[in-house]
Structure 1
């Protein structure tokens, strides 16, 4: 028995045949396209399992054989009026996925109708389909009432439908030059109130959409920030990061310093918690921490140790942590930071070692009272005689001399002893500058310069 078998109790033979067709299709076996007419023939059967496989096949091959795919259009239109909401939603989703003009045009009217469907799952699907249709044909959607219908869904009684409408509107707004997403305080307040009732990914849609809300006064910003702070303890990292971003955005509109301080104290623990997750999540958290520190340097001032590198951190995490360590370094913790950076400068990864040495030099410039400590650390590293360490140290010491002229000249002799280690253009240029700048303090400076000719 197969897809065209007439005696097939419970359509078992058709289901087995369709499973084999879909399996071959997913392995890029284009021979399956020859079965297009047979698949369309069984599309009208009253079996959700069969419809799912038929619709999957249709989406896959419709663009290759649009003239054959059009024969399936009546089945889809009919299924959008089915009594089963799963069938209605499946038919609409399938139609919106097919980038063939006839399908796109035929989907507009049913989508309008299904936005007002009695079943919330169908309404949710219809919301996403509007964004999908917009991706296919912007003008068609803008000239219909679909955007208006989508806006009306923001007042839906079902939280999942509201979050789906927001996600769809946000997606459309990002790709449109004429449509703007504006949210007033009442809408923002209502949307924030349903956060706890929606799935974790719907919460990310809501938090992202709320970035389009512009508070009219400090009170509105404070109230909204307070309502979303419970999301900071969510188990989903995307929700936590979305909440952090939104709170930072709302802080721009809050005038009360006590409120800002209270919010800042709430942001630090969730960021630190994210650093115990997988490396990819850590990296996202670290990049967000960098952005936060640029705007609010006090948020993580007591948490520098959590950013110290671990032996098994991948290089992209280590380099980002290095940036954070530099930003959080102060006169109070500089000894601890230098000890850590000295350890990094002895690691195997040359790229990371160079960045660590460079960070020590930048700290000498950033924290003037600690400049001598930083220089001593650099001299310890130069004493290792490792070529790339010596060269990187030479470059940063040149910058230190520029920042503090006529100071620390005593280390010039140490640099001159390591001229043979310099083979990179940047290091050579740095050493030439040092010799030229302090020629009167260096014996046989002219001879040393001749070595570079």
Structure 2
């Protein structure tokens, strides 16, 4: 709709639906068009206009392209909830797919592909077959994508009707955009299949390289990404591919540039000529540098990719280190990435420039950035032996500034430098000891204590220095206690005089009798036994020569690095994690004749956007879009109207499942993080509502990532739909730095009820004595209110179902949910007081009947329909408590995921 169409959103008349019905059936074209616009506007803001389905479909028979597009948009949205009525539109779709206007032909096929209703899918095949061979390239390219959508709905149908072969034929099309869409569709299908579908041969290779020059930018990305999977036969073919792809490096779109870089890097592995490789490195530098002049978000993505590239081929950007110098207005996340790359590119030739930059950064205002800059100086010292002395002198200059956190970070890195270059720079220890009083961070304290213990024989007053730490031994974090224990033993072994003897006695006593830390206690007992039985053996153990630490700037394992480089320009290269660690995609189930794939259980990875056209109405959708392809279910689910008849034989149902009377004890998965430490200035809060023994609790965990003790924790809940409030004060002991605490807070319902439509929002405020008040949002899962006596007898269930009118029945699809085992699902639901009543088979689907009850006696009568192991669960519910239905579906979706 255009800008002046905003008027369609402002209808507030009482009889809106009847009025729209009348306008949709008007004899005047303009009036009908206006009415459809109003319907779409209402649908967009979440109103239910599904009752106008037949009237809107009647407007399909029009020559007006704008009106046709609007009607098709409406159809996509409501066809799933009105599958029987959607069939009315099929004839028009089929007719439109043969329209003289190519735009209408493409629109018809595209819309049919978006409507995920089995009956319509059957009618789609013939028009799709025609459109794949259409004279107009726009229609062919639309049809290509439609094949991928159809494969997602029904993979068997696509293979049986030969659509995959038709797609492969389109790779030889004379229109580059058709080629690009065919490649995109085949790549998408390959991602959701366990069998090889799309393999590039030397014949298709030349076709794709030819199409590359004339495609739009996203077409180029699709083709380049597919080419990156091709392994060249020899160095000559690799050089040919690189030569054809290199012009893409000049493209304005950074996605094209990164995809081209990916191919060049992969093919460079096969190229043997050093001159060719050197030239390619020179050609790749300017486009990568250009990416750093984009907006910060793109800079960040580019930097994360460059970080990987310089680990594999540092020569590409070896002379470009200046472009990674931080600008004053760079966001912190860009600065941090630039620092990482500068460390990787630092060399004896440029270290002076780099150190000047780092020294400048160490005086900035952002504490995290300053720390990282100081640590970067230390990492450069460890990486470059010849530059270590210059790095040390810069660190000493920073220590003299006497900024507390700079001093502490400097001591941490100097400890590593001592480990890297033993017996070289110990003359600076005296300078470090001057800063002893200012240390308050565990890691800095531990580093200083390690230095004192390691070089006790060179420090005259080592015993006094350690003694100053021992006074607070019981209160120190575990990291510091462990270092103190070892340093005191080292001191005793090096200077076995009276002072150290008393110290070792006090420390061992503290670390064995007065601690509940098993690591500390075990180490203390080992030292105690060594010292009392064989002091020489103790020397061999405690004063053994330590392995020299190495440079960690290229910390990625080579096989992981190669995998990440093969995924450049995807999320994988931004996260620096292989795709399977954060994306799982269920492959389309194999057909019955594919025995060898039957039990592979493989998962793959796809970057396709989630299907946003599943047909849930805007008002009822509760975040159900999913990337998981839904396998064709064979028989369609029974329409809602037929439910009472289906329940008629409830008594004669399959009793394979024994009803679960007692809820299983809920397992304790990690709690969701609600206040990350980045927002909470080091404090991280994780929590969720839970029900135990008929009582609602707030299971809440605190993690102290700050440098100080946090105490005086209090919690308050804002008014909410269920009036949930704390039933007791929050009990959290003072939280030491680095420590965490988890507690169950008893909750009481119906204390503080907020007016308005029910919703699941829970607003929480938490404070402590050291920090400001933290506010965060949580969700109230409806199942925490399901009572323990919610199980119904079969006869009561059947009577309840029949007695409730049809307008009390609601249905929702959960495309992202999957039932892998009926028994496990029933047990999991019972643990949340959703009780099994009966089950039966309907074609290849399992239908479960269950009941749940709210505290005030209002039951939910539930029917769940699914194919075991196949994504996609259908949930129907009948209840007198209509206003709670959206929250009920939200809860059931969470429980079946």
* TM-score normalised per structure 1: 0.95
Q: Aligned to 1:383, what secondary structure does the other structure show?
A: helix
Q: Does 1:280 align with 2:297?
A: yes
Native 8 Å contact 1:3 1:39 kept in 2: no
| Equivalence map 1:188-199=2 (5 Å) | 188-199=205-216
State the shift of 1:141 in Å. 2.6
Task: Give the distance between the partners of 1:240 and 1:3, measured in 2 at CA.
Answer: 52
Deviates more, 1:56-65 or 1:220-229: 56-65
Q: Does 1:24 align with 2:42?
A: yes
Match of 2:266 among 249, 253, 257: 249
Task: Give the distance between the partners of 1:140 and 1:356, measured in 2 at CA.
Answer: 59
Match of 2:50 among 33, 42, 50: 33
- Which whole-Å deviations, capped at 9, do the CAs of 1:296-332 have from their partners, x for residues lacking one? 1111111000110111111111111111101111111
Aligned to 1:233: 250
Native 8 Å contact 2:171 2:207 kept in 1: no
Q: Does 1:70 align with 2:87?
A: yes
State the shift of 1:116 in Å. 0.9
Q: Aligned to 1:177, what secondary structure does the other structure show?
A: coil
State the shift of 1:364 in Å. 0.4
Match of 1:52 among 55, 64, 69: 69
Aligned to 2:339: 322
Q: Does 1:393 align with 2:410?
A: yes
Pair 51,397 (structure 1): closer, same or farther in 2 beyond 3 Å: same
Task: Give the distance between the partners of 2:23 and 2:93, measured in 1 at CA.
Answer: 19
Task: Give the distance between the partners of 1:174 and 1:423, measured in 2 at CA.
Answer: 52
Aligned to 2:382: 365
Q: Does 1:92 align with 2:109?
A: yes
Aligned to 1:331: 348
Aligned to 2:234: 217
State the shift of 1:28 in Å. 1.8
Aligned to 1:61: 78
Task: Give the distance between the partners of 2:392 and 2:82, measured in 1 at CA.
Answer: 71
Native 8 Å contact 1:185 1:220 kept in 2: no
Q: Aligned to 2:99, what secondary structure does the other structure show?
A: coil
Q: Aligned to 1:178, what secondary structure does the other structure show?
A: coil
Pair 350,330 (structure 1): closer, same or farther in 2 beyond 3 Å: same
- Which whole-Å deviations, capped at 9, do the CAs of 1:147-167 have from their partners, x for residues lacking one? 111111111111111111011
- Which whole-Å deviations, capped at 9, do the CAs of 1:166-215 have from their partners, x for residues lacking one? 11111111222113432122321221122221111111111111112211
Q: Aligned to 1:197, what secondary structure does the other structure show?
A: coil
State the shift of 1:71 in Å. 2.5
State the shift of 1:260 in Å. 1.1
Native 8 Å contact 2:106 2:143 kept in 1: yes
Native 8 Å contact 1:185 1:213 kept in 2: no
Match of 1:4 among 5, 24, 38: 24
- Which whole-Å deviations, capped at 9, do the CAs of 1:64-85 have from their partners, x for residues lacking one? 3333333323322222222221
Deviates more, 1:200-209 or 1:174-183: 174-183
Task: Give the distance between the partners of 2:155 and 2:404, measured in 1 at CA.
Answer: 59
Task: Give the distance between the partners of 2:89 and 2:343, measured in 1 at CA.
Answer: 62
State the shift of 1:36 in Å. 1.5
Q: Does 1:352 align with 2:369?
A: yes
Q: Structure 2: where are the runs of 5+ without partners?
A: 1-19, 474-897
Native 8 Å contact 1:232 1:240 kept in 2: yes
Deviates more, 1:287-296 or 1:213-222: 287-296
Native 8 Å contact 1:183 1:214 kept in 2: no
Aligned to 2:426: 409
Native 8 Å contact 2:332 2:369 kept in 1: yes
Task: Give the distance between the partners of 1:420 and 1:60, measured in 2 at CA.
Answer: 68
Native 8 Å contact 2:167 2:186 kept in 1: yes
Pair 420,66 (structure 1): closer, same or farther in 2 beyond 3 Å: farther
Whichever of the two has the greater Rg, that structure is 2
Task: Give the distance between the partners of 2:458 and 2:308, measured in 1 at CA.
Answer: 44
Match of 2:284 among 252, 260, 267: 267
| Equivalence map 1:61-210=2 (5 Å) | 61-210=78-227
Task: Give the distance between the partners of 1:167 and 1:111, measured in 2 at CA.
Answer: 17
Deviates more, 1:257-266 or 1:176-185: 176-185
Native 8 Å contact 1:43 1:54 kept in 2: yes
| Cα RMSD, aligned residues only | 1.6
Task: Give the distance between the partners of 1:443 and 1:204, measured in 2 at CA.
Answer: 66
Native 8 Å contact 2:189 2:197 kept in 1: no
Bigger fraction of residues in helix: 1
State the shift of 1:443 in Å. 2.5
Larger RCO (alpha carbons 8 Å, 6+ apart): 2
Task: Give the distance between the partners of 2:457 and 2:269, measured in 1 at CA.
Answer: 54
Task: Give the distance between the partners of 1:39 and 1:233, measured in 2 at CA.
Answer: 49
Number of residue pairs matched by the alignment? 450
State the shift of 1:99 in Å. 2.1
State the shift of 1:420 in Å. 2.4
- Which whole-Å deviations, capped at 9, do the CAs of 1:198-247 have from their partners, x for residues lacking one? 11111111111111221111111101111121111111111111111111
State the shift of 1:6 in Å. 3.4
Deviates more, 1:319-328 or 1:12-21: 12-21
Q: Aligned to 2:205, what secondary structure does the other structure show?
A: helix
Deviates more, 1:231-240 or 1:95-104: 95-104
State the shift of 1:106 in Å. 2.9
Match of 2:391 among 374, 399, 407: 374
Task: Give the distance between the partners of 1:353 and 1:273, measured in 2 at CA.
Answer: 27
Bigger fraction of residues in strand: 2
Task: Give the distance between the partners of 1:428 and 1:151, measured in 2 at CA.
Answer: 65
Native 8 Å contact 2:246 2:260 kept in 1: yes
Q: Structure 1: where are the runs of 5+ without partners?
A: none
Deviates more, 1:137-146 or 1:163-172: 137-146
State the shift of 1:372 in Å. 0.8
Deviates more, 1:253-262 or 1:106-115: 106-115
